[in-house]
């Protein structure tokens, strides 16, 4: 059961839990296809596209269209990975 943490409503905690679960599934999918276990598919697609790899040229535009409400989704995911946004605050450096 999801309990509200300090300063957060139950709904905010449900959204936070769902977001974290989505990131975990995304990272699992990336690991299953041979990527790094702690990187999302979007970040991996951006890196492959940046490095001129065929899979990156194919995947990045598709993923960016899926997340149409986010401008440059894959590039943003890569930047978040670099900043360790998905890490617990005490592990970000």
- The domain segmentation of the chain, as residue ranges, is 44-93
Residue 53: alpha-carbon gap to chain centroid: 20
- pLDDT the model gives residue 75: 96
- pLDDT the model gives residue 73: 95
User: Region 38-66: what's the mean pLDDT?
Assistant: 95
Cβ partners under 8 Å of residue 44, min gap 6:
30, 35, 36
pLDDT at 85 exceeding the cut of 90: no
> Burial of 86 by CB count in 10 Å (0-12 exposed, 13-18 middle, 19+ buried)?
buried
Closest CA to 73 of 27, 38, 42: 42
User: Region 25-31: what's the mean pLDDT?
Assistant: 93
- pLDDT the model gives residue 8: 81
């Amino acid at each position: 059961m999801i309990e509200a943490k300090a300063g957060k409503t139950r709904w905010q905690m449900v959204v936070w839990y769902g977001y974290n679960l989505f990131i975990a599934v995304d990272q699992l999918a990336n690991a299953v296809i041979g990527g790094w276990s702690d990187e999302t598919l979007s970040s991996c697609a951006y890196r492959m596209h940046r490095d001129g790899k065929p899979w990156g040229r194919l995947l990045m535009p598709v993923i960016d269209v899926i997340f149409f409400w986010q401008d440059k989704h894959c590039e943003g995911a890569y930047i978040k990975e670099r900043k360790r946004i998905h890490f617990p605050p005490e592990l970000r450096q």
